[in-house]
Structure 1
Amino acid sequence: MRFVHAADIHLDSPLHGLAAYADAPADLLRNATRDAFTKLVDVALEEAVDFMVIAGDLYDGTWRDYNTGIFFCREMGRLRRAGIPVYVLFGNHDAESEMTSQLQLPDNVHTFSSRKPQTFRLDALKVALHGHSFKEKAVTTNLVTAYPQPVEGYFNIGVLHTALEGSAAHASYAPCSIAELHARQYRYWALGHVHDFAIWQEASTIVFPGNLQGRNIRETGRRGAVIVHVSETEEVSVERLFIDVLRWESVIVDASEAVTLDDVALAVGRALDALVESAAQPVPLAVRVTITGATEAHGALFGLEAQLRAEVLAQIAAISHDRLWLEKVKIATQPIVHSSAAGEPFAGGADALADLHALLVEAESDPEFLSMLKERLIGLASQAPSELQKSVPELEYVRNDDLARIVAEVRSGLIAQLADAE
């Protein structure tokens, strides 16, 4: 017996981080979640699986129009014609209270009740699926305690949307422990909500398949679902399916050996070339580049993010423009501090730099100065477009009253640039 377990599909959810850029793959961004779901259905048909389980967040909240629901019905119709049933549990993003639009689903699609745990039996396969959909978005109670006892003589599958002991990266909805899941004595737990793949195999096999398609730079690496194989003796094996149609990657480039901006751009080019060559599948990549290290180029980079971005885009154009897009270049370098024998930076002939350095260090802890700086910047931080809010971390520093961090970042770059000029 074989089945597909997917979760966190978020149909028609936008991909964030690329749309503001002229070189962004607009069509791919707009249709990524749909294209990934179509690939999932393709695999289910090719593998002739016995059924499919979707463990929550099929949708991303209420539809903007009915096209999202019509698309889902079309894909389910493909499975219906192949005789493949689908069991859908609703999570926090598509809870009953979140969905104001509804369509009649094909008769091969079965949805778990939000009133109490519900069991579906596939008698020909001797399989029982138990699940409890979310009625409200914020379900903070442990739902597992009400799940029924396993059906005798059947392969029991629990379907649950849960943070599982409070995943730090996700809201703590329907929390429970791994021990509680094992104690339920189901053979398999099809989980959703946590967007990274995870598996535990002891008394039960417990699986988060991860989300089907990464939607921003926080969801890097390969994404997809799993196909579960169950032998005649009920031995369970789990195979990952990589379904994503655009992949997010984070590349760290050490610029400690660089002296100029051109040196940094070339180092980035080498790192991106290696990334494309090492990709296991020819999937387009959206990349964030972070420049790190204590480097002589620190001052040269100060205030030149736009120029560096253009240099990196030129490197990408030469490498593989149809497979590689730049999400952002983040400069996180440090200056190489030149000190006197006494350990004071900028001693000797650089008294003005030393004075400026001391003044900026003092400003980092001056409440009156920081208050004035916040007053000047809070309007920009509050009214900036949402895309800018996501891509410029300094705006978040202002909103979080972390002005000292901004001063510190400006200080190191400014001093390094002035020292280079001198």
Structure 2
Amino acid sequence: MMEDALELLYTGDLHLGRHPSRIPDDLDGPELSPKAVWLSTVQEAIDQDVDTVVIAGDIVDQENRYFEAYGAFEDGIAQLDEAGIPVVVVAGNHDFDALPEMVDNLDSDTLQFLGREGQWERWTLEQDGEPVAHFDGWSFSAEHVYESPLEEYDLPETDDAPQIGVLHADLDSRGSRYAPVLSSELRDTPADAWLLGHIHSPGIQIDSRPLALYSGSPQPLDPGEQQAHGPWTITIPKNGEVRAEQILLASVRYDQVSVDVSGVEDPQEATSVISEEIKEHVRSELDTRSLELSLVRVHLTGRTDAHSALVDRHRSMERDLGFRERSVSVRIESIDVDTRPAIDLEDLAEGDNAAAYLADLLLEIENGDTRESYGNMVDDSLAAVRQAHSANAYNPLRRETELRDPDDNDAIEHLEQQARVLLDTLLSQKGGNA
């Protein structure tokens, strides 16, 4: 508890009721759920004897997962209640209606829900009758909020204790439907720190007074949520700068590893190279104390005679490649084949045939001048990619995440991959004289 500094444990975007995606069936289980990491977070708060736990919204994933989330949240709150640790929460866009109901149904003396009905609210932590910290919170009252909540922030400035803002919002994203807030607005407040929710990638956004950061989701939920995840400790000394430190409690980690397979002659050799690169990545880059599963997106690069074979067989490689490194199970989430046939494109482009045309196209893509010479092909590729993107098969993913619309970069990437495969096929069929 507080002596020379206020200690908070801060998290958000728990999304209780949801489960990380792309986990292989043979490894899936309740220990990889957000609930498990939430309960580990509770235990961490108790072990550290923090002054307060702060949760910045989206505790419940969806209203239809209310009952699945309720028991897990109640369990954690009961443990914190017994330890005498107060909990400050605000509602986000996913639980704007479910969280108030859940809070009202919980029997807790220490749970503080701030900002009901979109109205700023302050709760003060006291010790021996004296204020220790002021928490200013605002909650979503509807799924979409188009105006900055800080336009209505008028709570008085205090000098008797630190002020901590708790807010679920979309920082520096004008036009957002999710409470758009500017960094300049945060700087104009008297708060010592702003603890934010909504963005699942953790990180400090303002590294000065006021400190502002996103906790990120404590357990990553899909391959787009790469890097390390877990709650944060926020230390506010009586004199000095606010400090933030992440606690790596997530049991799942999504990563991307680039592997150069230049000179590789077949997929079997490529598999060996991939395995060694990933093992080295786990050994040198990852904190494995809480980690149980590493899901890796592999990006293959380089010129290789195995290019076509890798394109044909990368799906089976994704399924078959798996191992343990130390205490961590490693699986391949996907393999992106960005290799090139082991050919001299400059020499081949001097010809007057289909292979020369494809070689010139690939050189233009490498040089970044694709639209200048092949604008019509880029337009056709973009139309094809967008048509695929709008297919019904992607509807479940759209419901879970916000998919961005394909752009020129996606179209050129698709065009490049198809051109490489076609060129390699032409050369193999005609002995290099296409």
> When the two structures are superposed, what TM-score results if normalisation uses the length of structure 2?
0.79
1:44 deviates by: 0.3
CA apart distance, 1:52: 0.9
The answer as to 2:19 corresponding to 1:14 is: yes
After superposition, the C-alpha distances for 1:274-307 in whole angstroms (9 at most, x for unaligned) are: 1222222241211111112233322232322234
- Could you say which residue in structure 2 is the equivalent of 1:27? 29
* Cα 1:364/1:383, change in 2 over 3 Å: farther
Aligned to 1:272, the other structure's residue is in SS state helix
The residue number in structure 2 matching 1:265 is 271
Whether the 8 Å contact between 2:12 and 2:55 is mirrored in structure 1 is yes
Q: How has the CA–CA distance of structure 1 residues 65 and 127 changed in structure 2, closer, same or farther, with 3 Å as cutoff?
A: closer
Equivalent position of 1:117 in the other structure: 120
Q: Deviations over 1:239-289 (max 9, x none)?
A: 211121111111111122323222321210111111222222241211111
User: What SS does the aligned partner of 2:63 have?
Assistant: coil
1:250 to 235, 256, 274: 256
> Quick check: 1:166 aligned with 2:173?
yes
Matched position secondary structure for 1:151: coil
Say which is worse superposed, 95-104 or 41-50, in terms of deviation.
95-104
The answer to whether the Cα contact below 8 Å between 1:143 and 1:174 also exists between their aligned partners in 2 is yes
8 Å contact 1:298–1:417 — kept in the other structure? no
**What is the distance in 1 between the residues matched to 2:298 and 2:256?**
6
Q: CA deviation at 1:419?
A: 2.2
**How far apart, in 1, do the equivalents of 2:81 and 2:346 lie?**
77
Residue of structure 1 aligned with 2:423, choices 393, 406, 415: 415
Aligned to 2:194: 189
Q: Using CA pairs under 8 Å that are at least 6 residues apart, name the structure with larger relative contact order, 1 or 2.
A: 1
- Residue 182 of structure 2: aligned partner: 177
Match of 1:61 in 2: 62
For the Cα contact (< 8 Å) 1:61–1:99, is it kept in 2?
no
Separation of aligned partners in 1, 2:244 and 2:250: 18
Answer whether contact 1:364 1:404 (CA < 8 A) is retained: no
TM-score (norm 1): 0.81
Rounded to whole Å, the distance in 2 between the matches of 1:104 and 1:253 is: 52
The 3-state SS of whatever aligns with 1:107 is coil
Contact 2:17–2:65 (Cα < 8 Å) also in 1: no
**CA distance 1:100–1:61, change in 2 (3 Å):** farther
Shift of the alpha carbon at 1:420? 4.0
Tell me how far apart the structure 2 counterparts of residues 10 and 270 of structure 1 sit (CA, whole Å).
Answer: 35
Q: Structure 2 stretches of 5 or more lacking a match? A: 1-5, 365-372, 400-404
Correspondence list, 1:54-133, <5 A: 54-64=55-65, 66-96=67-97, 104-105=105-106, 106-112=108-114, 113-124=116-127, 125-133=131-139
State the SS of the aligned residue for 1:49: coil
* Contact 1:259-1:297 within 8 A present in 2 as well: yes
> What letter corresponds to residue 118 of structure 1 in structure 2?
E
Q: 1:115 to 1:200 in 2, by over 3 A?
A: closer
| Ranges in structure 1 where 5+ consecutive residues have no aligned partner | 391-395
1:330 to 336, 343, 346: 336
1:97-131 CA distance string (max 9 Å, x none): 89887761223211112241011112324311111
How far apart are the structure 1 equivalents of 2:87 and 2:96? 18
The structure-2 alpha-carbon separation of the partners of 1:120 and 1:100, relative to structure 1 and needing over 3 Å to count, comes to closer
Shift of 1:80: 0.3
SS at match of 1:304: helix
**Deviations 1:10-30 (Å, cap 9, x if unpaired)?**
112222223xx554x22158x
C-alpha contact (below 8 Å) 2:319/2:332 kept by paired residues: no
| Aligned match for 2:310, one of 284, 298, 301 | 301
Cα distance change on mapping 1:98 and 1:258 into 2, 3 Å: same
Structure 1 distance, partners of 2:325, 2:159, is 58
Secondary structure at the aligned position of 2:254 is classed as strand
Distance 2:62 2:219 in 1: 16
Q: CA deviation at 1:172?
A: 5.3
Quickly say closer, same or farther: Cα 1:380–1:161, change in 2 above 3 A: closer
User: Residues 257 and 114 (structure 1 numbering): CA distance in 2 closer, same or farther, change over 3 Å?
Assistant: farther
1:222-241 aligned at under 5 Å gives the runs: 222-233=228-239, 235-241=241-247
Deviation at residue 86 of structure 1 after TM alignment = 0.5
> Quick one: structure 1 residues 246 and 198, their matched pair in 2 at CA, closer, same or farther if it must change by over 3 Å?
same
Task: Using the TM superposition, give the Cα deviation of residue 161 of structure 1 relative to its aligned residue in structure 2, in angstroms.
Answer: 1.3
Give the percent of matched residue pairs that are identical in Structure 1 and Structure 2. Answer: 22
Write the letter of the residue equivalent to 1:177. L
